[in-house]
Structure 1
Amino acid sequence: MTTQEIANRLVTLCRKGEFDTAQKELFSKDAISIEPYETPDFAKETKGLAAIEAKGKKWEESVEATYGYTVSDPIVAGNSFACTLGMDIKMKGHDRMVMSELCVYNVKDGKIVSEEFFM
């Protein structure tokens, strides 16, 4: 798959809330996920698809309610692409909130090798 095809597929899956499918289908086994900052629950950097999937499950378990997702069309440049992700959610023990982040991905050999989030 080209970077554009991977970007389009990721956006399609994320718009459906199918983040785990996107990871399994599009990510390299050695992918790296980088958060804006470390928290008590999530490391700044997560290495390897299995660890990224575990982080995703942990995130899902911390969300009490999801009211909607928005994902922009991707912008592609070479082997990289970016999109925005908006989430209207309620985390366990917290008030409902709307989050927005810029998601930047790098592709190599037809797989996503890194993702980084900016808020």
Structure 2
Amino acid sequence: MTTQQIADRLVALCRIPDYETAQRELFAEDAVSIEPYASEDFPKETKGLNAILEKGKKFESMLETIHSTRISDPLVAGNVFCCTLNLDATMKGKGRMDMNEICLYHVKDGKIVSESFHV
């Protein structure tokens, strides 16, 4: 798959939303996920597809209600693409939050090798 095809597929799956399928299908086994900052809930960096999948499950377990999700069309340059993500959700014990970030992905050999989130 080209970077554009990977980007389009990732955005399509995330809009459903089906993040786990996107990760299983499009991420390399040794992919890295980088958060904007470390927190008590998540480390700054998560290495490996299995750890990234577990991080996703942990995040989903923290959600009480998703009010809306918006993901932009991807912007592709070479082997890199980005999109914006807006998640309006009520988090268990933390109340309603409006999360906005730029998601940046690097592709190598037809797989996403890194993702990073910027706020």
Give TM class, smaller chain. Answer: over 0.9
User: What is the aligned partner in structure 1 of residue 13 from structure 2?
Assistant: 13
User: What is the aligned partner in structure 1 of residue 69 from structure 2?
Assistant: 69
> How many residue pairs end up in the alignment?
119
* Structure-2 separation of matches of 1:3 and 1:16: 20
Give the Å deviation of 1:94.
1.6
Q: How does 1:1-119 map to 2 (within 5 A)?
A: 1-119=1-119
Structure 2: stretches of 5+ with no match in the other structure: none
Task: Note the aligned Cα RMSD (angstroms).
Answer: 0.5
Amino acid at match of 1:60: E
Identity %: 61
Give the Å deviation of 1:68.
1.4
Amino acid at match of 1:19: Y
- List structure 1 segments (4+ residues) > 3 angstroms apart after TM superposition: none
Amino acid at match of 1:10: L
Give the Å deviation of 1:96.
1.2
Give 3-state SS (helix, strand or coil) of 1:97's partner. strand
Give 3-state SS (helix, strand or coil) of 1:81's partner. strand
Give 3-state SS (helix, strand or coil) of 1:54's partner. helix
Amino acid at match of 1:18: D
Give 3-state SS (helix, strand or coil) of 1:68's partner. strand
Give the Å deviation of 1:19.
0.6
TM-score where L is the length of structure 2: 0.98
Amino acid at match of 2:70: T
